[in-house]
Structure 1
């Protein structure tokens, strides 16, 4: 398990690699609200996991006020996640985000039921979610998949595929595990 310092260093390196506008590590540390929200989330998530729900919610609320990024303390977020710009990003309680995921501004990872169950998206490793995309329900965005800006995604996205539009549809060549081309319909 990497230390806090190692994780922060990894986060800064991720920002420098994924954002061509990032000019220095100091700039990333001081002026990247998406990074600040992720760092705060690690603390609020630890509080949440230890049963300090009210404290976790209050701190996540304060983080939202300071960064414009709302991440529920119950959400699970992997390593090297990068939130570019950050303004308006919403991550729901039962969201699972894998490693090396990229989120742009305005992304909503929301629920579609009031039931106390898995109700938010799962983003597998290496997925990219474009600006102002809305993903609703317990869907999965497969490893290496991309969601276009402004898309509304209500069904799972296969690995290494791209979806765009409202409602989101597959675009381009997209092959399943057996190498068979998938059509315009989503496949589980």
Structure 2
């Protein structure tokens, strides 16, 4: 007799668990890159000059527009990073054309907060985006993105995979900072400005 195997029911949440970023400072960026090259899928990389525009939506909630210029090709593009925002705030921005936005960033409430020279290596490992940022004058960081999901077990799996990535590169899970590299650099920039003035 044949029996139908019952599929496990996947319970979907009413509201999504938002995207999250986990960052760790690297002591040896070269070793980390070599380790990831042997285990992870390399996607892209390059050297860039970034101009960061920021808008604060709450005490610890920021959104960014990044004008990124490839140092080798001088190609310029506008990148929006608003993973901290609520869905309704994101919708207002995604419908606009990037070329029409660039001259109007300040009218939209985004102000230039700093410029940086950065080298980026992008990988994917265990279905998670893993980026290494080597920021001139700020340091070397590994940033892992946990995608937005409505399935609680997906987030638990992503969290477990973060630990595997940290173990792979020899990083201590206790050293993880629950934010992105741009926000870390912004907070340091603000702190330095307050000390000076």
TM-score (norm 1): 0.27
Of structures 1 and 2, the one scoring higher in RCO (CA 8 A, sep 6+) is 2
Which structure has the greater CA radius of gyration? Answer: 2
